[in-house]
Amino acid sequence: MTTTAASRQAMGRYGEAVAERHLIGQGLVVLDRNWRGAAGEIDLVLREGDTLVICEVKTRYDNAYGTPHQAITPAKLERLKRLGAEWIAARGLVPPETRIDLVAILRPDRGAAHVEHVRGLC
């Protein structure tokens, strides 16, 4: 693993920890973390009331390579839908409602991270 890959992995872990704390603070309940399925990985699976939430976390130092929002392409959304269905099937659940959220995190050189929770990408 190169330093760059290790750095990206560390940034991802940092962002997921920040996102998890933020979402718990908003009243969501964590059901799973970094769940791997056939099509990839779900960063966080949560519950908000009766709604199952499939959450993608995107963390950046800056927007030089695009915003976290721009990283959520139609193909990424389709993959998250498939992964969510796979997670549900693996547990034999029938949630009344499912949604996909994004937690976008901007980590400045100094100070606290900026966290934005975008509900219901689809």
Structural domains present in the chain: 3-118 (3.40.1350.10)
How much is the average pLDDT of 2-18?
82
The yes-or-no verdict on residue 50 having pLDDT over 70 is: yes
Q: What's the rounded mean pLDDT across residues 50-57?
A: 98
Mean pLDDT score across all residues of the chain: 92
Dig out the tokens for 99 from the structure: 């949604």
For 86-110, give one letter per residue: b (16+ CB within 10 A) or e: bbbeeeeeeeeebbbbbbbbbbeee
Is the torsion defined by CA of 119, 78, 39, 93 positive or negative? positive
Q: In whole angstroms, what is the distance from residue 37 CA to residue 40 CA?
A: 5
Amino acid at position 53, single letter: V
The CA-atom distances, in angstroms, between 116 and each of 28, 29, 55, 66, 95 are 15, 18, 12, 15, 25
Rounded mean pLDDT of 76-95? 96
